[in-house]
Structure 1
């Protein structure tokens, strides 16, 4: 379960940003997670709920997840298509000369603070 390791890095980064900005309480963290990133949202949320209790700065912080849809580009026909639905083979021309444009990201989008 690499979700716990991911949560540790998020907590570390949020703590650093909070410290730099003299923030005493974080109320929410929004993550953008790619559809094919391999991160399981339910596991990530469970790990978040466990880890946040260990940090006074974040003990009440909500985790918000926004999914980034996976999109693949075909170099043969120059079209984009949904990766999960069609995989590596282009549904328009049948080419395997494709690559992932987006959908593998993992980003901290927003940190909300309490007054």
Structure 2
């Protein structure tokens, strides 16, 4: 389960952001998670619930997640399509020269301070 490591990374980032912006408390954190990033939302939230109580400035902070759809691009026909639905083969031209445009990201989108 790499979700716990991700939570620790988020907390480290939040600590730096809190110091830079003179924040004493965080009410919520919104993350953008790619549909094919390999992050399991329920595991991430369980790890978050455990970890937030160990850090005073984020104690009780809510974790909000937003999914970024996985979209691939076909170099043959220059069209994009839903990766999860069609995989690596383009549904328009059956081309296999495709690559992922979005859906593998993991970003802190927003931090709400108290």
**Please, what TM-score do these two structures have when normalized by structure 2?**
0.99
Partner residue, 1:110? 110
DSSP-derived class of the 1:27 partner: strand
Matched, 1:11 2:11: yes
The alpha-carbon deviation at position 80 of structure 1 amounts to 0.5
Paired residues in the alignment total: 114
Structure 2 unaligned spans of 5+: none
Determine the C-alpha separation between the residues in 1 that align with 2:51 and 2:27.
14
Q: CA RMSD in A?
A: 0.5
What is the CA distance between 1:60 and its match in structure 2? 1.4
**Residue equivalent to 1:47:** 47
Aligned match of 2:38 = 38
Runs of 4+ in structure 1 displaced over 2 angstroms?
none
For 2:31 and 2:10, how far apart are their aligned partners in 1? 9
Paired residues for 1:1-115 under 5 Å = 1-114=1-114
TM-score by length of 1: 0.98
